[in-house]
Structure 1
Amino acid sequence: MKRFKYILGFIAASFLVSCEDYLDTPAQSTLDQSIIFASPDLAMKAVMGIHQSFGETNSYRGRYLAWYGLNSDVEWYNSSEKTTGQAQLANYTVTPTNDQMNTANNAWAKMYEGIERANLCIHGIRKYGNPTPGSEMGQILGEALTLRALIYADLVRAWGDVPARFEPITTSTIYMAKSDRDVIYKQLIADLGEAAELVAWPNATTMTKTIEHVNKAFVKSFRARLCLVAAGYSLRPDGQIRRSNDPELSVSKMYEIAKKEVLDVIGSKTAKLEPTFADVFKKNLRDDVSAGGEGLFEIPFADGRGRMVFTFGVKHNSIDQYTAQAKGGDAGVVPYLFYDFDTKDTRRDVTCVPYEWSSVKDYDKTGTRSKQILNSSGAAKWYFGKFRYEWMKRRVTSTNDDGVNKQYMRYAEVLLMAAEILNELEGPAVAAPYLKEIRQRAFNRAEWPTKVDAYVNALQDKESMFKAIVDEHAFEFTGEMLRKEALIRWNLLKDKMDVAKVKMTELSNLSGRYSDVNGKLYSRYAADGETLEIYGLNRGEIEDKTSEYSTVTSWISTTKLTALKINSLYLTDPNTRQFWPIWQNFIDSSNGLLKNDYGY
């Protein structure tokens, strides 16, 4: 079981009272702050209140994590063609009155609740806790600074310019207008620089033995990510897509900071890639939160909170041998991606799953077991194989939650950032070793001479290396909701989504780049009676196998992968809708200080 649970002590609960929206002032503490923040034990309980905000009903748990990141060129809501609230969040047609988001207790409010809790902790620890690098109170302050930065980074990722609150709310600051995101980025980068000096490396202390608390490797890596985002492109309130005009956030300055941070993490040898790609996600699903592996930080959820498999997992149509929760499959892989993977790439079959699990009545008359079945939508609907009930050790019994942590950052991203940064600053030869390390894990050793060495060594200029890094990012991180932000900062969002639409059209017609793909699948069951054996998924598998397989399924056609489905990847220019609107509820309660930009 996970080591970290949401068991808030009386002190934290009484001091950090939840508010219905971020405009409410916090309740007065039942204990004086000088007592709470002079004690490491009580201060840590207060910081746990920040963690609590992640799991509340309409916060990260079921709103932000479930919907931010959809749609991209490789990930989409599997019902994007619909016109209702959830689809609107994904297909770039959302409005400020969206019925999934426009409530007083929604993600916007809960994120500012978490920020206010962090502000109170940071203020109190600075005043009463005597935090120093390496001390217990220093670690606690570093965690509070990092959690505040994480929430703010996600706010800016989703909404662009937002109110900048870095001090506890007073009567004069209840209402605030939006701040330029550049101001926020500079504060976060400075805060993370301080936090990196305060917190310990993974496994150096009791607290950093688990990735449910922050450590120096995560803080430095997260700081590098923010530097790249701050120096990147994004839509501004005036309608322009551009980099920051602030010289402090220039590519040269931000990339130098990011370079130092990622090389520090790599040089520390306190994190490493898991032996296989599947191991990364099996550890996550099996609640292994030990530090020192690939995971750098996870947003922790107790068993009855969180919706990672619930939302992103391989679909189970009924309660069965693997789960007491019939869910999964809300989102999945954009259909062409499976066919763009190298057939030797071990990440492909972990990432892209073409089957779901049947209703038990279709397999087992006793009503307890299901089996894999090809979904009726054919190649129009794939699932993220990184999230599987069948890989869990715990049996999920909740009707709404699965308890799986959000894997917020892993070491593979550090290596890919290192390749990107060093390619920009020093050229492809210096970047090459880091890209090779990613690909070495992706391919069996026998394939390294061609799939790793020859492939990477052929990238002789910055442009070709950058293109390869963009492609590698998709193959490595599809389903982890990192892609949309990366495409925005690279100024590639619409370009890549346009390419995805063209590729899906070719796939539906079995033409162009996909002319060697079979429109039929031949399937049978393995000896266990539940696992599908499939012929026809790989390129070039076009022979008639009717005599060898029990079932032939129409998999790809214009009636399966329709023009309506393809076009629903985006219904409004995604470059003009890079951010969600501030929900009307919060506009109305802002005393006239908040407004929407970006054409909303």
Structure 2
Amino acid sequence: MKKNRYIIGALVLVAGALSGCKPNLDLINPQEVSKSTYYKTASELEASVIPAYQALIGKVQGGYARAFYYNLLAPGDDFNHTFKWEPMYQDTYNTPASDGLIAGSWKDMWNGIFAANTAISAITNFTGEISDDQKNRLLGEAYFLRGLLYMHVVELFGETVPLIDHPTLSNEDYYPTNSKAGEVYALIISDFQKAAELLPVKSVMNADAAHIGRATKGAAQAYLAKAYMYRPILELGQKAEFDKAEVELKKVIDSKEYSLMPYFRDNFDEEHENNAESVFEIQMHNGPGWLGDDMSDSWRWQEIGMYDGTGGAWWNLAPNKKTYNEFENGDPRKYMTLWCDGGAKYTQVDGTVTDYDYWMAHLATNKDLYGTRKYCPDVQVADFDDGINDRLMRYADVLLMYAECLNENGKPEEAKNYINMVRTRANDIVPTEQSQLWYHSSKGTIPDVDGLLAENITINGIKMNSIKNIIEHERYVELCGEYVRYFDLLRWGMADSKWLEPLKEIGWTERAMYYPFPQVELDNNPNLEGNSMNH
């Protein structure tokens, strides 16, 4: 069983919610580890960044272990909540400030920012023996993690969240105020820039097996580019910086550190984790316990994977008919992404082999929704959770973002090449797949970009008659279930409102762009005002 590189030998720092961590008494325990007694050696410094990684998984299940796949996926037009979870608010655009899922994400992300700030301070001020390479690497990891954690916080709650760039030093730090427009975006950009300067490339980082899965120069450059492209979300009223993003993405491509895996499905199983296509992924580990005993597992397969009525799956959130229809005829990715008709079979713990007919016969309602095969094992695990890593940034995403930048910067012909790289891989035979699936022995039949333009077909109301529309389509199918769809529509919609129409059709309003600040945080902190969803 693999080790989780985020928790071995770590000093776990738990900050709690921003204002909820203030002690009532000033007591000193001489036996308690603190910042003044720790971080005295290079090995202790190594542990300083681990809690920030762990926060992305979520000690209180507010990260990718559980809450994030609801908070990030449900607001899009591609997933719906099922009859199994009523009420669920994330896809209704009416989430209350008392909701536990958003409160968990708020707490875990701020725990991570607290840890990253502590690490940056400890590493910067360290005076013990340490090599420049090690110190730069650790500082780069800390800056990367703070930038990534802040990016998540702003995606969920908007740019008026507090700006906290140092460890807690005074009573005032327990009760921060709202940030001003543009401040958090500037911090995110600065953090990714610093990380890109300090971090080694993937091959150097991975030369030490203990560091596989940690942030690298390529990850920092890719996320810096993503932040530039996400600027309309991260700093309202501002345009995406496609020119700057193009430069950073070109660096990632030119580094030759990454390549597409031969088979699309290799990106979503436990056997091929941290592969050549992985730019950054969450290191999951399915240990012996659950509900607190194991902080590094994922409940994704159980909660949004297989259909209800099969292997005890909960099936709370599911791809909808629109997502099913987005895949072109002859695209093998449909069957590697969805549990659906004509697709793969699923084996339960008791040995029962199930198929689409079985699922429909055992499904009570919502028969117009589908299962999420991506990240779901084909053979049921005898547990609520599993240890499949969540790939947050793949090289395929880098190629599609680069194509988008090229197109936005007036180079559509160049953009085609990078879209075609992703589409060509999609057509490849997948001999490692289930033998009854047609693409196990036959190639897919989706055309290249020019062929798709020539077809001039309409998919879910969007004509495939421009490079921009094809990029929208390709990101939908290639990255389905990978947490980008809602945010793609938002960032495009800030420049051209037509991209907001799919969201408006299902009840979205500009007021509901972000989730409300958790009410418990507003109750605890008189200096903090909520966003539009709190009013």
| Aligned counterpart for 2:18 among listed residues 19, 22, 25 | 22
Deviation at 1:83, TM superposition (A): 5.2
Q: Is the 8 A contact 2:205 2:212 kept in 1?
A: no
Distance 1:71 1:147 in 2: 25
Distance 1:92 1:498 in 2: 14
Q: Is the 8 A contact 2:49 2:119 kept in 1?
A: yes
Distance 2:332 2:34 in 1: 56
Corresponding letter in the other structure for 1:333: P
Distance 2:399 2:130 in 1: 30
Q: Is the 8 A contact 1:207 1:213 kept in 2?
A: no
**Alignment coverage as a number of residue pairs:** 489
Corresponding letter in the other structure for 2:483: M
Map of 2:383 onto structure 1: 398
- Compare CA radii of gyration and give the structure with the larger one: 1
Distance 1:335 1:207 in 2: 44
Distance 2:129 2:470 in 1: 44
Greater CA drift, 55-64 or 151-160: 55-64
Deviation at 1:144, TM superposition (A): 1.1
Deviation at 1:132, TM superposition (A): 10
- SS of aligned partner of 1:470: helix
Distance 1:312 1:388, change over 3 A: same
Map of 1:142 onto structure 2: 140
Distance 2:316 2:466 in 1: 35
Distance 1:581 1:133, change over 3 A: farther
- SS of aligned partner of 2:174: coil
Sequence identity, in percent? Answer: 22
- SS of aligned partner of 1:173: helix
Distance 1:371 1:289, change over 3 A: closer
Deviation at 1:214, TM superposition (A): 0.8
Distance 1:280 1:309 in 2: 15
Give unpaired runs (5+ residues) of structure 1: 237-241, 245-249, 320-325, 502-566
Distance 1:451 1:269 in 2: 27
Distance 2:203 2:346 in 1: 43
- State the TM-score, normalizing by the size of structure 2: 0.81
The question of 1:298 aligning with 2:262 is answered no
- SS of aligned partner of 1:573: coil
Map of 1:59 onto structure 2: 62
Deviation at 1:227, TM superposition (A): 0.8
Distance 2:503 2:142 in 1: 40
Deviation at 1:20, TM superposition (A): 3.5
Distance 1:488 1:208, change over 3 A: farther
Q: Is the 8 A contact 2:61 2:67 kept in 1?
A: yes
The question of 1:68 aligning with 2:72 is answered yes
Corresponding letter in the other structure for 1:185: Y
Map of 1:205 onto structure 2: 205
What do residues 435-471 of structure 1 show as CA deviations (whole Å, max 9, x unaligned)? 11111112249989970153367699x9811111111
Distance 1:99 1:122, change over 3 A: closer
Q: Is the 8 A contact 2:41 2:128 kept in 1?
A: no
Distance 1:93 1:32 in 2: 41
- SS of aligned partner of 2:203: coil
Give unpaired runs (5+ residues) of structure 2: 288-296, 430-441, 457-463
The question of 1:380 aligning with 2:368 is answered yes
Map of 2:447 onto structure 1: 451
Corresponding letter in the other structure for 1:338: Y
Deviation at 1:223, TM superposition (A): 0.9
Q: Is the 8 A contact 1:125 1:131 kept in 2?
A: no
Distance 2:183 2:455 in 1: 37
Distance 1:34 1:88, change over 3 A: closer
The question of 1:173 aligning with 2:169 is answered no
What do residues 540-580 of structure 1 show as CA deviations (whole Å, max 9, x unaligned)? xxxxxxxxxxxxxxxxxxxxxxxxxxx8xx3x434331110
Map of 1:309 onto structure 2: 301
Distance 1:467 1:57 in 2: 39
Corresponding letter in the other structure for 1:204: V
Distance 2:112 2:129 in 1: 21
- SS of aligned partner of 2:125: helix
- State the TM-score, normalizing by the size of structure 1: 0.73
Deviation at 1:226, TM superposition (A): 0.7
Distance 1:157 1:594 in 2: 17
Q: Is the 8 A contact 1:131 1:138 kept in 2?
A: no
Distance 1:90 1:295 in 2: 29
Distance 1:42 1:497, change over 3 A: same
Map of 1:94 onto structure 2: 95
What do residues 282-337 of structure 1 show as CA deviations (whole Å, max 9, x unaligned)? 3xx33x4335x111111222214222222231237465xxxxxx325222212133
What do residues 26-63 of structure 1 show as CA deviations (whole Å, max 9, x unaligned)? 99895575774453321111211222333312321222
Corresponding letter in the other structure for 1:350: M
Distance 1:309 1:444, change over 3 A: same
Map of 1:128 onto structure 2: 126
Q: Is the 8 A contact 2:221 2:252 kept in 1?
A: yes
Distance 1:464 1:279, change over 3 A: same
Q: Is the 8 A contact 1:316 1:357 kept in 2?
A: no
| Aligned counterpart for 1:408 among listed residues 392, 410, 416 | 392
Map of 2:186 onto structure 1: 186
| Aligned counterpart for 1:352 among listed residues 332, 338, 347 | 338
Distance 1:349 1:126, change over 3 A: same
Greater CA drift, 472-481 or 402-411: 402-411
Corresponding letter in the other structure for 2:413: A
Greater CA drift, 474-483 or 25-34: 25-34
Distance 1:179 1:487 in 2: 25
The question of 1:269 aligning with 2:256 is answered yes
Deviation at 1:114, TM superposition (A): 1.1
Greater CA drift, 165-174 or 297-306: 297-306
Distance 1:453 1:497, change over 3 A: closer
Structure 1 residue runs of 4+, over 6 Å off? 26-29, 130-134, 355-360, 445-450
Q: Is the 8 A contact 1:312 1:387 kept in 2?
A: no
- SS of aligned partner of 2:450: helix
| Aligned counterpart for 1:473 among listed residues 471, 475, 482 | 475
Distance 1:131 1:118, change over 3 A: farther
Distance 2:386 2:124 in 1: 37
Q: Is the 8 A contact 1:416 1:435 kept in 2?
A: yes
- SS of aligned partner of 1:374: helix
